[in-house]
Structure 1
Amino acid sequence: MNASSGPAAYRELFYTSQDGLRLFSRDYGQRGGKHLPVICLPGLTRNSKDFETLATRISATRRVLCPDLRGRGRSQYCESWSEYTPQNEMLDVFDLMGAAGIHQAVFIGTSRGGIVTMLMAAQRPNAVRGAVLNDIGPEVSIDGLKRIASYAGVMEAPASWTEAAFKLRMMNERDFPTLTGEDWYEQARRTFAEEAGVPKIDYDGKIGLALRKGLEAANGALPAMWPQFKALGHVPALVIRGENSDILSADTVKRMEKEHAGLASVSIKDRGHVPFLDEPEAIGALDAFLERC
């Protein structure tokens, strides 16, 4: 393992999945502390960079693992689109826990990462000691998924970082109306990798193909995950929803509150899919939640 330098210092953790992929995770904070470690799982085409601010802040008191799921960031790509499934990603996270020597953790799952978290709770309940679901729940809006499928794996890399920030702004400004030009530039740095000084797509395009194949197979009727969500019933849970989200509806959040007696919820103003977890409301809710864990 090598350590990064600077304010967001982390160790580099490489491990091997059950099917032989070389996978990567950032490893923040001290091992063996008195608090439960936290594992942050990113969205469909996202990676560990999304959690840099959050991980740096909470690693003062907890160990924090932020993996690049298969086909994202610094993790190895799969040979076939069919290998990009939440079930395989769940197994990869169990492999990460084994490599890191962690038996139980609190999970913060953004979008796809929240789906993986619910699957983990159903598969190995004792491994999950708390769960944050960031703009995701047991029911997902198919219109929102179609929007994501329209660009995932087909968008070309911008020619410059200025163009990258502009593209993200044009695609998302309606749901994130308060972000400044500097904010969009920062989001571009988290969205794209850098190669020879210019932006590069930071995930395997076959992930987008897998999503489109899944939508085609669903034929407009996405399966709900209420049994998997109920598997979180024995642990503290928090759902964070972007006020403008087209993935997680306010009605789904209301049902989640009824189904889980220990669920807290917070809505983030001027955010779509997904909140960045650096908003004051999100920070307050996360701090209170981690105290419960």
Structure 2
Amino acid sequence: MPTEQGFSDFFYAAPDGLCLHARIYGEANSGRWPVVCLPGLTRNCRDFHELALYLSAQTKRKVVAFDYRGRGQSAYDADIGHYNIGIEAGDILAGLAALGIEQAGFIGTSRGGLIIHVLGAMLPAVLKAIVLNDIGPVIEAQGLAHIRSYIDLAPRPKTYAEVVRDLRSTHGADFSALTDADWERMASALYRKTEEGLLPDFDSRLVDTLAGLDLSSPLPDLWPQFDALAAIPLLVIRGANSKLLSAETLEQMRTRHTDIETITADDQGHAPFLETGGLPGKVAGFFDRAERRGGGK
């Protein structure tokens, strides 16, 4: 049953038996495509809370926001080699099967968007419409280096006020659009309270999965996987100050996809907050238009 916060917790078994978690919003909603939300590398389902409340209440859609293994309320994996997008894509399919969801609209922020590319290769029929939040088939090494640096040096604050201060110090220049309330929501999504104090809400060994990347050379791209999504309605949101998704890559995405819409989130970097700047209404409108046309085939 939904809690007073507007969602219910759902736990299920990954293909290898690991216990994984998702939040379900609008659980009783039916008759419309559900929406599946996939967060970034070290992020969790709480990033989508405000957007999920909006979509479930205003558009009467069921919304499922996932925690990957090693994040949020999902169990940590003893083998850090399992923290990869292929296994995580399989985990998402297992969760959808457990929920009886055969088709949905998908929202992928950063790593979540990469997982959507993999899902397009594994089970394309599940994808009816796609929102990519500041991610595309080309990842800029500068942006990944920035992510690696602030994950590796994640502070150990004593209070949420200190978290907000540190977040502003690290990201404030790229996110001048954010209000105090936005920063506070970000802080509460990133950290959890423990007996040891506040800790980042992810397995610290995720940092090790980036250690071997050579960021002095271009990273492998996903253009073949992107091109395979050509029949699926697509909305791409890019932060105007993004270091991960370049304006050049976004323009190339426009030329290679036949049914694409784009939004630039002014005064935001990687990745735009989807509950800000009128984005909830724009995301809802995109899914409504895609559903009226029948979505991906």
Using the size of structure 1 for normalisation, the TM-score is 0.94
Equivalent in the alignment of 1:39: 36
Q: Percent sequence identity over matched residues?
A: 38
Question: 2:163 aligns to what SS in structure 1?
Answer: helix
Displacement of 1:211? 1.8
Displacement of 1:94? 0.3
Equivalent in the alignment of 2:178: 179
Supply the RMSD in Å over aligned alpha carbons.
1.6
Question: 2:272 aligns to what SS in structure 1?
Answer: coil
Equivalent in the alignment of 1:236: 233
Question: 1:245 aligns to what SS in structure 2?
Answer: coil
| Aligned 8 A contact 2:141 2:216 in 1 | no
Equivalent in the alignment of 1:136: 135
Equivalent in the alignment of 2:149: 150
Return the alpha-carbon distance in structure 2 between the equivalents of residues 104 and 281 of structure 1. Answer: 26
Going from structure 1 to structure 2, the CA distance change for 1:40 and 1:249 (only over 3 Å counts) comes to same
Return the alpha-carbon distance in structure 1 between the equivalents of residues 171 and 155 of structure 2. Answer: 17
- Structure 2 regions of 5+ residues with no counterpart? 292-297
Return the alpha-carbon distance in structure 1 between the equivalents of residues 33 and 182 of structure 2. Answer: 32
Return the alpha-carbon distance in structure 1 between the equivalents of residues 19 and 239 of structure 2. Answer: 33
Return the alpha-carbon distance in structure 1 between the equivalents of residues 195 and 81 of structure 2. Answer: 31
Using the size of structure 2 for normalisation, the TM-score is 0.92
- Output the amino acid matched with 2:259: G
Question: 2:244 aligns to what SS in structure 1?
Answer: coil
Displacement of 1:20? 1.5
Question: 2:273 aligns to what SS in structure 1?
Answer: coil
Equivalent in the alignment of 2:126: 127
* Number of aligned residue pairs: 288
CA-to-partner distance for each residue in 1:89-140, whole Å, 9 max, x for gaps?
1000000101101111110000000000111012111011111000000001
* 1:169-208 aligned within 5 A: 169-196=168-195, 198-208=197-207
| Aligned 8 A contact 2:109 2:135 in 1 | yes
| Aligned 8 A contact 1:137 1:248 in 2 | yes
Equivalent in the alignment of 2:14: 17
- Output the amino acid matched with 1:140: I
Displacement of 1:195? 2.2
Return the alpha-carbon distance in structure 1 between the equivalents of residues 254 and 221 of structure 2. Answer: 16
Q: Which moved more, 1:277-286 or 1:80-89?
A: 277-286
Return the alpha-carbon distance in structure 1 between the equivalents of residues 86 and 55 of structure 2. Answer: 28
| Aligned 8 A contact 1:68 1:75 in 2 | yes
Displacement of 1:62? 0.7
| Aligned 8 A contact 2:67 2:73 in 1 | yes
* 1:212-251 aligned within 5 A: 212-213=211-212, 215-216=213-214, 220-251=217-248
- Structure 1 regions of 5+ residues with no counterpart? none
